[in-house]
Amino acid sequence: MVLTGFMGAGKSTLGARVAQELGWRFVDLDEEIVRAEQQSIADIFDTAGEASFRKLENIALTMALKQDRLVLALGGGALETEANRRLLADDPATLLLYLAAPLEILIARCEQQARLQPQAARRPVLEKREVLRERFLRRKPLYESAHWMIETTAQEPDAIVQAVLARWREHTSGASFAHNE
């Protein structure tokens, strides 16, 4: 199962909880990149640039999708890379879930996280406020091409986790795989 959505969507927090409920492994794609490169995401952006980060992200995704019984949280920009979209589409075992919220809510969540956890990783894409809305709008249709979407704004994390698990059970019981049904 793969979770997508913009920064602040809750991919890592909710993904870890869903994995725990399923007894599966949880992998955060950003953390895999940090581990492989021994460098923070912000440092990779600063020294090598975003294009290099996207290549590393693609390699990390290729590796991650080889594993079964895995809940994978993508970085918010992973679907912008066409090769990543193809990898996900070509993997019949992948159920892609989109955690959605309006941009203002997402920014507020990221800011709150930065306040509450000052040691948390810097988000270089979030720092470029002048192009944030443009990025969000560009990505929206890509997120919306996921198999399923859940609006996270008005729901408690527990309810979202339960909804994701219910969607997964529906999927494994042979329900259709159509997009956004």
User: Where along the sequence are the contacts to ligand S3P (CB under 6 A)?
Assistant: 7, 11, 30, 41, 75-77, 123-125
Select from 82, 86, 64 the least CA-distant residue to 74: 64
Instruction: CB nearer to ligand S3P: give 33 or 161.
Output: 33
Q: In what order do the strands lie in the sheet with 70-73?
A: 25-28, 70-73, 2-4, 96-100, 148-151
Select from 62, 57, 105 the least CA-distant residue to 78: 57
The distance of closest approach from Cβ of residue 28 to ligand S3P in the complex, given in angstroms and rounded to an integer, is 7
The distance of closest approach from Cβ of residue 135 to ligand S3P in the complex, given in angstroms and rounded to an integer, is 7
The distance of closest approach from Cβ of residue 24 to ligand S3P in the complex, given in angstroms and rounded to an integer, is 19
Residue nearest to ligand S3P (CB): 75
Give me the helix-helix angle, 103-116 and 132-144, nearest 10°.
110
Instruction: CB nearer to ligand S3P: give 123 or 147.
Output: 123
The distance of closest approach from Cβ of residue 79 to ligand S3P in the complex, given in angstroms and rounded to an integer, is 10
Q: Which residues, other chains included, contact 28 with Cβ-Cβ below 8 Å and sequence gap of 6+?
A: 11, 12, 15, 72, 73
User: What letter represents residue 74's amino acid?
Assistant: L
Instruction: State the Cα–Cα distance between residues 112 and 145, nearest whole angstrom.
Output: 29
Instruction: State the Cα–Cα distance between residues 112 and 132, nearest whole angstrom.
Output: 17
Instruction: CB nearer to ligand S3P: give 31 or 170.
Output: 31
Instruction: CB nearer to ligand S3P: give 27 or 75.
Output: 75
Instruction: CB nearer to ligand S3P: give 75 or 100.
Output: 75
The distance of closest approach from Cβ of residue 104 to ligand S3P in the complex, given in angstroms and rounded to an integer, is 16
